[in-house]
Amino acid sequence: MSDRINLDEIERRAYLSYHEDGLVDMVVGIGLFVAGLYAYAEMIWLMGGMVAVITPMYISMKKKYTFPRIGQVTFSTGRTRRSQNSMYFLVLVNVIGVLLGLAFWMGFSGDTRPQWMLLMVDNFPIVIGVAGAVIWAVLGYITELKRFYRYAAATLVVIGSANFIPTPFIAHMLILSGIVMVSGFLQFQSFKRKYPIFQEN
């Protein structure tokens, strides 16, 4: 029994090391930055195409920087299921987003607009801040990456504060993307120092 517990702990540490490179943070930060620019330019429909660009970028960076340092790790079914659950959750978030978008389109196309929609529009920074914080927190719980909880708090404060501070919403989006990117970059530098590449002469 103790051997099984030790193996589970070893795999857990390997899993955390595999995601210690900060690459996902930098990629998400870039995505937030681009999403903010799209929203500012009122070209929100282009956001869906970011997934097709960001995913290959992340995989390429993983192969270039992470695999040479700690190898390409194959995890057990339980650990693999965590990654799958993260993807399922993000798909669910996208579906809910699309349904909400349709609901708002139908609601604002009519003569009367539901009170809850008007309330959400009037306080949309708080709504987006809370939704973003929940997404980060759930992903942090699923993946066991504790730094995601910090991003949840940052999202709630930085985005939610746009409801009370008379600054353009784009500024808050860029600040949040900067926080995530810089944090990811520092994590990446720490990862490279911790796991250097040793080349044979």
pLDDT of residue 55: 79
pLDDT of residue 201: 42
Tell me, yes or no, whether 168 lies in a domain.
Answer: yes
Per run of 10 residues, the mean pLDDT along the chain (length 201 residues) is 59 78 91 82 65 80 87 71 80 80 76 79 89 93 91 96 90 94 94 76 42
CA atoms of 167 and 16, how far apart (whole Å): 38
Tell me, yes or no, whether 6 lies in a domain.
Answer: yes
pLDDT of residue 171: 92
pLDDT of residue 53: 75
Tell me, yes or no, whether 198 lies in a domain.
Answer: no
Which two tokens mark 84? 């799958």
Query: What is the per-residue DSSP string for 6-54?
Result: HHHHHHHHHHHHHTTT-HHHHHHHHHHHHHHHHHHTT-GGGGGGHHHHH
User: How many Cα atoms are found within 13 Å in the side-chain-facing hemisphere of 106?
Assistant: 6
Tell me, yes or no, whether 201 lies in a domain.
Answer: no
Tell me, yes or no, whether 200 lies in a domain.
Answer: no
Domain extent, residue 47, equals 2-193
Tell me, yes or no, whether 164 lies in a domain.
Answer: yes
Tell me, yes or no, whether 69 lies in a domain.
Answer: yes
pLDDT of residue 42: 67
> Based on the structure, what is the number of domains in the chain?
1
pTM metric for this prediction: 0.81
pLDDT of residue 40: 75
Tell me, yes or no, whether 137 lies in a domain.
Answer: yes
pLDDT of residue 176: 95
